[in-house]
Structure 1
Amino acid sequence: MMKKADLINGVFLENKRKKKWVDKKSGHSSFMLYPRALSIVWGNVNDYWTWKCFKDMSDDNVEVVKLITICWLDVQGKLEISELSPEVDYEIVFMVRLAKGCSGWELPNTLKLSLPNGQVRERHVCLYEEPKGQWLELNVGNFRTTKGDRGEVSFNFTNTAGHWKCGLLFKGALIRPQKMSP
Structure 2
Amino acid sequence: MNNLPFSSIGPYSDSFTSTTVLSRMIEGIGFRFYWATEGLRQIDLDYKPCEDGRSSYENIEHISMLTDAISDAFEGRIYDFSNQKSGFEDYRKNTLNNLDAIFKALKENSDLSKVSVRLNMNGEEVVTPFWNLINGPFSDIIYHTGQVVAFRRISGNPINPGVNVFLGQVMS
Query: Which of the five TM-score ranges fits, normalised by the shorter chain?
Result: under 0.3
TM-score, normalized by length of structure 2? 0.27
TM-score, normalized by length of structure 1? 0.26
| Higher percent of residues as strand | 1
| Higher percent of residues as helix | 2
